[in-house]
Amino acid sequence: MLVGPKTADDAAVYRISDELALIQTVDFFTPVVDDPYQFGAIAAANSLSDVYAMGGRPVLALNVVGFPRGSDVTPMSMLAEILRGGAEKAREAGIDIVGGHTVDDQEPKYGLCVTGFVHPKAYWTNIGGAAGDRLVLTKPIGTGIVTTAMKAGTAGEDAMRSAVTAMATLNRAAAEVGRKVGVRACTDITGFGLLGHLREMLGGVGARIRLSAVPILPGARELAAKGAIPGGSRRNKESLDRIVNYHDGIDEVDRLLLCDAQTSGGLLFAVEPGRTTDLLSGLSEAGVPAAAIGELVAEPEGRIEVAP
Ligand code: CO
Ligand code: CO
Ligand code: CO
C-alpha cells in the first residue's frame, strides 16, 4: 500500500509492480442541479477528479446509483439521463463505465467508483510541498453558494451557467499539465472548501493566501452576502477558525467563500517557485483557468494566513 487511509488523501494507491500502481476511489452524492444530465456529468467529473488529484490516469469506472422505484416525481427517464451524463463524461475522460449497482432509494444519488493507474514513483500526495512552494488553483470557487442560491431560486443566469460549467469540467487537462511541468503536491477542492483542503496539504508547513488572487465565480460573493450559505460551508469555517488568521478587513462573507463546500472543484497544486510560470502558462495554453493564490511558508504549526 503506497497511500492508505492514514493520510487524508484523495484516493488509495496500491503498488502492483515496479512500473505500475493502482488508484482506487469512490464518490457519490445527491443532486446538486435540477437537470439530470448535468447532474450525471458533474457527479462523474467529481469522481474522476480524485484520480487526477493523485497524478494518475483513470482506466475504468463503475456506477453507484440510488433511485426511487415507481415514483411519479422522478420517472425512470430521469435516471436514464443521469446515467447518460455520467457515461458521456467518462468517455470524455477516455474511459468506459463497465458496470455498477443500483438500489431503491427515496433520494436519488449518483457517482462513480473509479480505478486508475499511476507510476509507483510518480503519484502526488497532499503533503509533499515545501516552504516557498507556490500554490496554484484551477477553477473558481463558490459552487456551494451558487447551487444553494439555485435551489432557492435566487441565482442569476450567469452565476448558474458558470457554476455548472466549472463543476462539469474534468480536471484531466489540469493534471496533464501538472505532470508535464512537475509539481510537488496536489489535492482537489471539494466538500471541505479551499481552506479545508489546503489544510490537508500542510504537513509541517503553513500557508499564506491572498484573497484578491483567488478566482471566484461570478455572482458568488453577492449571493453569499444575501445569505446563500450552505450549512457545510459554515461548519467548514467554524472548524478552521482556530488555524486561520484572517487579516483585518476581510469580512465574514469572504471568509465563508474561502471555506465554501465545493462540488467537483479544481486542483490545488504546490509547485517549486521556479516552475510556477511554466505551470501557469501550460495551464493557460491548455485552456484551464488557473491562478497563483499564495505560497507555503515555514510555519510548523500548519497555520493559514489570509491577506487581502
Ligand atoms: Co479529493
Ligand atoms: Co473524493
Ligand atoms: Co492527494
pLDDT tens track for 119-162: 999 999 999 999 999 999 999 999 999 999 999 999 999 999 99
Q: Quick check: 8 pLDDT over 90?
A: no
For residue 44, name the pLDDT band (cuts at 50, 70, 90): very high
> Measured between alpha carbons, how far is 231 from 155 in angstroms, rounded to an integer?
17
Residue 49: what residue type? S
Residue 71 banded pLDDT, cuts 50, 70, 90? confident
Q: Which ligand is nearest to the CA of 25?
A: 2
Distance 267 CA to ligand 1 centre (A): 9
Beta strand pairing status for 267-271 and 134-138?
antiparallel
Cα angle for residues 277, 282, 288 (degrees, 5° grid):
115
Instruction: Provide the terminal-to-terminal Cα distance of the chain, rounded to the nearest Å.
Output: 41
- Domain formed by 134-307, architecture: Alpha-Beta Complex (3.90)
* Nearest-angstrom CA–CA distance, 263 and 46: 7
* Cross-strand pairs, 294: 135, 209
Q: Name residues with Cβ closer than 5 Å to ligand 3, which is an ion.
A: 9-10, 53, 126, 187
Ligand nearest to the Cα of 171, by number: 1
- Nearest 10 degrees: Cα torsion 211, 217, 222, 224: -80
Instruction: Kindly tell me if the per-residue pLDDT of 85 is higher than 90.
Output: yes
Domain boundaries, the chain: 12-118, 134-307
Q: Please compute Rg for the chain using Cα positions.
A: 19
Residue 45 confidence (pLDDT)? 98
Res 73 pLDDT > 90: no
Q: Kindly give the residue spans of alpha helices, DSSP state H, lying in 226-275.
A: 231-240, 252-258
Q: 244-246 and 304-307: which strand pairing? A: parallel
Question: What average pLDDT does this structure show over 288-300?
Answer: 97
- The single-letter code of the amino acid at 196 is G
pLDDT in tens, 207-253: 999 999 999 999 999 999 999 999 999 999 999 999 999 999 999 99
Alpha carbon of 110 to ligand 2 centroid (Å): 13
- Is residue 66 classed exposed, middle or buried when 0-12, 13-18 and 19+ CB atoms within 10 A define those classes? middle
- Say if domain 12-118 classifies as CATH 3.40.140.10: no
Report how far ligand 3's centroid is from the alpha carbon of 172 (Å): 14
55-66: average pLDDT: 98
Per-residue pLDDT band at 201 (split at 50, 70, 90): very high
Distance 8 CA to ligand 3 centre (A): 8
Task: List Cβ neighbours of 91 (8 Å cut-off, separation of 6 or more).
Answer: none
Checking if the pLDDT of 190 tops 90, the result is: yes
Strands (E), the chain: 12-15, 21-29, 57-67, 96-104, 109-118, 134-138, 185-188, 206-210, 244-246, 267-271, 290-297, 304-307
Question: For residue 114, what are the β-bridge partners?
Answer: 25, 61
The ligand placed nearest to the CA atom of residue 13 is: 3
- Which ligand is nearest the CA of 9, by number? 3
User: How open is the CA angle 26-30-36, to the nearest 5 degrees?
Assistant: 105
Give me ligand 3 centre to Cα 210, in Å.
22
3, three cell numbers = 497511500
Q: What is the mean pLDDT of residues 1-13?
A: 92
